[in-house]
Amino acid sequence: MSIGEKSEKRRERRSLATVPVECRMPNGENIPVRGITVNVSPSGLSFYTHRQLDTGVSIFMTGAELWQGSRQGTVQWCTRIMGGLYRVGMLLN
């Protein structure tokens, strides 16, 4: 790998998309986590939200403009951008 080359770990190419999504924790926590997507693919997505999510947490996500019903996935990373804004990377099951 040469200088400036980035190692790509994604299985599929992601497309830019800015659509609302909502997450729910499978542990029964009833507080929805709302966000806006940055990019999506069949196997994962990245989105902005105002709540920090722990890496490894499994969540159910709905996005009417993306899928019918909900999708389950796992938080791969969560980075604080500024103030109370976070960017989350999620792998979909």
The yes-or-no verdict on residue 6 having pLDDT over 50 is no
d(CA 60, CA 79): 20
Q: Which residues is 61 bridged to in the sheet?
A: 23, 71
> Tens digits of per-residue pLDDT, 33-79?
899 999 999 899 999 999 999 999 999 998 988 888 889 999 999 99
d(CA 53, CA 89): 10
Our count of domains for the chain comes to: 1
Domain of residue 86, residue span: 15-92
9 within a domain of the structure (yes/no): no
pLDDT at residue 32 greater than cutoff 90: no
Task: Report the distance separating Cα 77 and Cα 64, nearest Å.
Answer: 24
Query: For position 36, which CATH number holds?
Result: 2.40.10.220
| Single pTM value for the model | 0.81
Q: Is 10 part of any domain?
A: no
